[in-house]
Structure 1
Amino acid sequence: MIVSRSDSRFARGYYVIGSNESETRFRVFKIDRLEPYELKIYHDEVEYTSSEMRELLRRIKEAAKSSSKGTKSEEIPIKCALGIAGFVRFFEGYYMILVTTRKRVAQIGPHFVYKVLESHLLYIPNDEVKPASHPDEQRYVKLFQNVDLTSNFYFSYGYELTQTLQYNLALSKPDASEIEELEIDSDKKIIGIIQQSEKKFVWNDYLLQPTRDVLSKEWTITLIHGFIQQVCLNVVGKPVYLTLIARRSQYYAGTRFLKRGSNCKGQVANEVEIEQIVNDASLTHFHENHYTSYVQLRGSVPGFWSQDISKMVPKPQITIDQSDAFAYVAGAHFRSLLKRYGSPVIVFNLVKKKEKKRHENQLTDILKDAISYLNQFLTKEQQIIYTACDMARVSKKKDVLHLLHHLSEKILDKTGIFHNKKNNSLQTGVIRTNCVDCLDRTNTAQFAVFKCALERQLCSLGIIEQKTPDANSHAADILEDMMEDLGDTLAIQYGG
């Protein structure tokens, strides 16, 4: 994509020219630079060939020269870009956010996934109509640029990264009128119905709003924030792709200690959806290849609680800021999980059970009371399942990983895994893991679940036989390294 400027006294605008990778098909739209405050975009719906685009640019240049009545006019290439991340305005005119450099990090089917390496902020209004300088404009620009787009932001041109593989390959896309409903299959398991694009994970959603009704989706890119890593494994002589995708929620986002619990809408702090995809690396097409996936969730305990960081202590005291006797906040949170993932929702609580001084276990009381109250109003199929493990206490008597493996097997029996080539092989429900920070302990527990899921995924693909732990021991070691990288990345993001 090339952004060009047409300069003349009376015709000033940015012409954005987009093409496919082979540069055989082109489209164009114009941004009016004579409007100081509003964003005016003129989108040409016509698709051009290479020769037609050259002719169109020649005509634009001639029109600019004609309107300038002999004054100097030229078409100047401004910036080559790989996608538009959105538009933003502070006190003066609009800026266009361009992604200029990328790095390929994964391939899902025929689609590549990229990490943003460089971006550019392009000011749109012309100098002749530029509004009077506002004293705070540059301060807000610098604050905006503090959000580093090169820090673990990802996008794909053809694959919907905000959705799970199961949704993209298996579940039908409902109309907006169906979003509030829950669809039940013949086995009475509820499969969550979700929108085509999950707004929760679109970090540039606000920036894309000015173009939503003007530009087609092919012009803009959807950014997710989190972690993506893909490794090609050799399992008993067969190439296998192991992919981890972590999607951070844009709602109630913030750094550790400043964001705890949830807001009044049930959106929790440090909420991250993590998906493990395993597929045959020798094939790329979705309709030919076998794909399996498993999804987990982590997030803060839903409720109104915080920690006072005014005192420099290793563990700031947990404070319950407001009681929620009717579990309104927790109800809103778990309702959203039922809509997206279906049932059962399994809550895996890793908070300490017994302490000399009451601290973490306050959160356990909030969580257990809320689940107990909500289950009164849910059907048998929708019941929220609560399980807990005090890892520090268990480690004194038992092997923690062995216990986590045992619990993980039970959880996977309830939720199942997704396999696109097997009938009724869907993941129904989700495991939601939490500790206090949802970092170290949570990462260990989620690794244990993913390790069990990996064995089932390899079995489902026919690569290994069941109960052959030695066959996938190398894959488990690689998964452990990947989960360590994921945990470190999420810890830095949440730590600020």
Structure 2
Amino acid sequence: MLFEQSELRITNEAYLFTPLYEPAKGTPSSPSVDTLTIYRDSGELQLNAAPPVQNSRIQKQFVVYGIFGFIELLAGEYMIVITGCKKLGTLMQDCDVYQATTFQILPIPRNTNGLSVKQLEDEQTYIHLLQNHLKSNGFYFSYKYNITLSIQKQIELSANSFNDWTKADERFFWNKYLSTKIITASQKMKAGHDLNKFILPVIQGFVSIKSAVINNRSVTFALISRRSQERAGTRYFSRGLDEQGSASNFVETEQLLLCDPSKSLVQTNSLCLSYMQTRGSVPAVWRQIPNIRYTPYLWIDSDLSNEKVIEASRFHFELQVKHYGPQILVNLVNRKGYEHPVGETFAKIINQLKNPSLKYIHFDFHHECRKMRWNRVQLLIDQLEQDLRQQGFCFYDMTNPLEPKLRQKQTSVVRTNCMDCLDRTNVVQSTISRWVLNRQLREAGILQSTEVIENDEQFMQIFKNMWADNADALSVSYSGTGALKTDFTRTGKRTYIGAVNDLVNSILRYIKNNYLDGSRQDGIDLILGKYKVIPITTLQGQPKSPFQLSPTFIFPELMGITSSLFHIILLSFLFAAILASWSYIQQHGTEFVNWPKLIPLSLPKIEDRPLEVNSNQEYVFSRHTPRRSSAANLNELEQGYELPALKKTT
């Protein structure tokens, strides 16, 4: 079992961790408890080291709730610790789940004397990237519960008795790279005398746990979304698949219902019912290239005769079937306009793979639910009903703790996508989950066969808010803003106030995705180890800074013009200069985008070739956005097109 809290003492020589029973009292748990010492000179980790010498003055002393990990920057190693957390609730077998609220980044070296002025600036930039990533995302952990695994996976791996990091799902072990140092050190030690109790798997995504009463039965309702770290990134800098078949914005969402049998007098949550869904970028090789226009360039590698292109999709689905079983693929992108080529490529890939474990359904969300008729999502549920009944859900009965029974297993999964896998996807996933929840409540004996949970207004408020909060959390991580369409998720209907909020969020997305996301992508690449900083102690000479920006990147045509001549031209032809500048910006929009600096993205050539599908005369490599008819409305704000006018739709 993991140590829950530790007292951290900082001296000039070392960092000393002493696990605590009651951190509020600040008393060591026992004289024989394992302590961890990290020596600042060597960076060595030692278990139960000798006490520091008497003259080692304690510079600082406070309680930490876990070691998030270690990362190397220019000055050497830094340690990230969790210094604040809040309890979200309790899951099975008294397993508390927490959200990390504050972190500290602590330098292992005593000073940064070896860094030049420029290197010090870069060091601060790296630290700010880490800090911003930690502040702007949700991180969750548990000391007793393996939060990286679904209930069904925990049962299959016998990993539900305690939080063993060796059984964690690496896809969702967000701090796995940062934990490399402590994992490596632990593996060199003897079993039972290692550092495993200090290794804390953390997920990034969303967790909510609420207590409720349904038909006079107490229940615990929870939602856990685990974001994959395999192809993590921001909205326009991470799309589609990589060569290994990992999908951008891949999220596993598990809905949990914990309750007791009807005759139980004490609430122990001995019945656990779980339902899993996934989302992920359209499983093809495609990109959107930000160009400061509202509609970015769309690029798709649609040559399915190219083995590398089809192999990426094949690898992806082989992995998905391995993890979840057969896939029910729900594609929500538009059948017409800007999104059409993406959807058509997806359909062609499925047709070419001929995998019997894949069932493909295209539901044009914006068309079917146009004019704010969002209740028409039920048409999709009707189409899926037979598959949903066949796939079932996980039902784990712990009424007899000595002989727990897995009464039912979920045998397949619904994988949903739109363009961003955020707004439309969340509406559909919440609707599917509500349908499944009715079946689970009847199976647990809480609802009668003719009853529906929609009639319980108090619980439905919990359900809707939880799914809307989930939408916002996942959207902030990927797009930088809260989700669109959450008014429908929260209230069950589309409102004009919600549409106006969507307009505001769409504008904010445009600004962030074009002018701010480069730094967010750098933070992700840094904390996940996609980009590794080499300390100056191992370098020969002065390393080139990744943050240097050549002035020719912005206005190459203006370089070489003397300042005085430039001002004369500017004053003489001000209006012409403004027009010329605007024309230049339109033609060279990608040069004004805030691109990632740590791992620069290679841009495909925009003029290479058009997409070889019927896309209503739209070209994947075209610089031009399609004209829109006057039928554009607020429902289409999520992706593509110019900003629509606010007008009433009938």
Helix, strand or coil at the partner of 1:432: strand
Decide whether aligned partners of structure 1 residues 366 and 424 sit closer, same or farther in structure 2, where only a CA change above 3 A counts.
farther
Question: In the alignment, which residue of structure 1 is the partner of 2:147?
Answer: 161
Give the Å deviation of 1:442: 0.8
Distance 1:420 1:266 in 2: 32
Distance 1:283 1:116 in 2: 31
Given the alignment, which residue of 473, 489, 505 partners 1:489? Answer: 473
Q: Is 1:60 aligned to 2:51, yes or no?
A: yes
Give the Å deviation of 1:494: 1.1
Q: Is 1:148 aligned to 2:134, yes or no?
A: yes
Given the alignment, which residue of 180, 184, 187 partners 1:209? Answer: 180
Question: In the alignment, which residue of structure 1 is the partner of 2:317?
Answer: 334
Decide whether aligned partners of structure 1 residues 101 and 150 sit closer, same or farther in structure 2, where only a CA change above 3 A counts.
farther
CA contact (8 A) 1:235 1:472 kept: no
Give the Å deviation of 1:284: 6.6
1:194-228 deviation digits (Å, cap 9, x = unpaired): x8211111111111001103242321322111111
Give the Å deviation of 1:106: 2.3
Question: In the alignment, which residue of structure 2 is the partner of 1:385?
Answer: 359
Give the Å deviation of 1:395: 3.1
Helix, strand or coil at the partner of 2:379: helix
Question: In the alignment, which residue of structure 2 is the partner of 1:96?
Answer: 79
Greater CA drift, 399-408 or 100-109:
399-408
In the TM superposition, 1:254-273 aligns within 5 A as 254-273=233-252
Distance 1:423 1:495 in 2: 38
In the TM superposition, 1:299-378 aligns within 5 A as 299-313=280-294, 315-321=295-301, 323-325=303-305, 326=307, 327-342=310-325, 344-353=326-335, 355=336, 357=337, 359-375=338-354, 378=355
1:28-80 deviation digits (Å, cap 9, x = unpaired): 12212222xxx311113xxxxxxxxxxx9xx725xx14xxxxxx543455332
Question: In the alignment, which residue of structure 1 is the partner of 2:109?
Answer: 125
Give the Å deviation of 1:424: 4.6
Equivalent residue letter for 2:145: Y
Q: Is 1:292 aligned to 2:263, yes or no?
A: no
In the TM superposition, 1:246-261 aligns within 5 A as 246-261=225-240
Give the Å deviation of 1:493: 1.5
Question: In the alignment, which residue of structure 1 is the partner of 2:7?
Answer: 2
Decide whether aligned partners of structure 1 residues 144 and 481 sit closer, same or farther in structure 2, where only a CA change above 3 A counts.
closer
Question: In the alignment, which residue of structure 2 is the partner of 1:24?
Answer: 29
Alignment length, in residue pairs? 434
Distance 2:352 2:435 in 1: 32
Equivalent residue letter for 2:296: P
Distance 2:258 2:383 in 1: 25
Decide whether aligned partners of structure 1 residues 251 and 471 sit closer, same or farther in structure 2, where only a CA change above 3 A counts.
closer
Question: In the alignment, which residue of structure 2 is the partner of 1:464?
Answer: 447
Give the Å deviation of 1:470: 5.7
Question: In the alignment, which residue of structure 1 is the partner of 2:44?
Answer: 40
Identity of aligned residues (%): 30
Distance 2:15 2:366 in 1: 60
Which of the pair has more CA radius of gyration?
A: 2
CA contact (8 A) 1:292 1:417 kept: yes
Distance 2:304 2:285 in 1: 8
1:278-325 deviation digits (Å, cap 9, x = unpaired): 01178675xx70000000001110112122321413x33422146343
Q: Normalising by structure 2, what TM-score? A: 0.63
Question: In the alignment, which residue of structure 1 is the partner of 2:376?
Answer: 400
Give the Å deviation of 1:408: 4.2
Give the Å deviation of 1:396: 5.5
Distance 2:453 2:476 in 1: 34
Equivalent residue letter for 1:480: K
Question: In the alignment, which residue of structure 1 is the partner of 2:88?
Answer: 105
Question: In the alignment, which residue of structure 2 is the partner of 1:279?
Answer: 258
User: What is the Cα-based RMSD across aligned positions, in Å?
Assistant: 2.5
Give the Å deviation of 1:151: 3.0
Give the Å deviation of 1:476: 3.7
Decide whether aligned partners of structure 1 residues 284 and 266 sit closer, same or farther in structure 2, where only a CA change above 3 A counts.
farther
Give the Å deviation of 1:235: 0.6
Give the Å deviation of 1:172: 4.4
Helix, strand or coil at the partner of 1:412: helix
CA contact (8 A) 1:270 1:298 kept: yes
Greater CA drift, 400-409 or 384-393:
400-409
Decide whether aligned partners of structure 1 residues 3 and 197 sit closer, same or farther in structure 2, where only a CA change above 3 A counts.
same
Helix, strand or coil at the partner of 1:146: helix
- Higher helix fraction: Structure 1 or Structure 2? 2
Distance 2:225 2:78 in 1: 29
Decide whether aligned partners of structure 1 residues 367 and 125 sit closer, same or farther in structure 2, where only a CA change above 3 A counts.
same
CA contact (8 A) 2:67 2:81 kept: yes
Distance 1:40 1:311 in 2: 48
Given the alignment, which residue of 456, 461, 464 partners 1:480? Answer: 464
Helix, strand or coil at the partner of 1:262: coil
CA contact (8 A) 2:395 2:408 kept: yes
- Higher strand fraction: Structure 1 or Structure 2? 1
Distance 2:106 2:230 in 1: 27
Gaps of 5+ in 2: 1-5, 160-165, 187-194, 398-404, 481-650
Decide whether aligned partners of structure 1 residues 328 and 439 sit closer, same or farther in structure 2, where only a CA change above 3 A counts.
same
Distance 2:127 2:369 in 1: 50
